[in-house]
Amino acid sequence: MTLTSLSSLRDVVSVVGHVLFEGGIRAVLSGGACASIHSRGLYQSADVDLIIVSDATRSRLDELMASIEFRRRGDRYVHPRTRFYVEFPRGPLAIGTDVKVKPEEITVAGKVVLALSPTDSCRDRLAAFYHWRDRQSLRVAVLIALANSLDYRVVREWSSREGFEDDYRAFLAEVELARARRARRRATRS
């Protein structure tokens, strides 16, 4: 697939994730782009964050990214035709203090990509809410919860270890409120 000005975030994730995977670099989709995928596009990000979890030199990364027309500018890779850019934040792959995060293989636009699971993507957004009081991140965590079957036990236990039990309860309340609004909208359409 050639990226164009019409390419979606999913297209960029697919192309970049696949070329890195094929090139022997294990990079895990995280951050806003992962949240976008797991919220089924209800949230949109302008960038693609990938955490490298294997050995990779900067020159090999530059080479692989150049093969799909991305060029490094500072800490990000930009493409001449798509508005989305790619960043490789410093690892390790972690959510809050949890460094035992296990990525999963997902299919995005027909290609296998390593990514945070929906549960871990939700926790990633909740970490921003917990630590920086970022209300948008809370809303995105709710969108992920609505679109997926999460392991709430994992989220609850992690929230407790991080010291945010009350904020976890606030998240659950927001999820229930969003489900109720969704049910009311469906009922009025019937």
Task: From first to last of the 190 residues of the chain, give the pLDDT tens digit.
Answer: 899 999 999 999 999 999 999 999 999 999 999 999 999 999 999 999 999 999 999 999 999 999 999 999 999 999 999 999 999 999 999 999 999 999 999 999 999 999 999 999 999 999 999 999 999 999 999 999 999 999 999 999 999 999 999 999 999 999 999 999 999 999 998 7
Do residues 83 and 130 share a domain? no
pLDDT of residue 188: 92
Whether residue 65 is contained in a domain is answered as: yes
Do residues 108 and 27 share a domain? yes
Domain that holds residue 156: 119-189
Q: Look at the chain and report how many structural domains it folds into.
A: 2
Do residues 37 and 78 share a domain? yes
Length of the chain: 190
Do residues 141 and 59 share a domain? no
- For the entire predicted model, the pTM comes to 0.95
105, β-bridge pairs: 114
Do residues 44 and 134 share a domain? no
> In a 10 Å sphere around its CB, with 0-12 CB exposed, 13-18 middle and 19+ buried, how is residue 153 labelled?
exposed
Please report which residue ranges of the chain form alpha helices under DSSP H: 9-22, 31-38, 58-66, 118-132, 135-147, 152-162, 165-189
Out of 98, 116, 134, pick the residue that ends a domain. 116
Tell me the C-alpha distance between 171 and 185, whole Å.
21
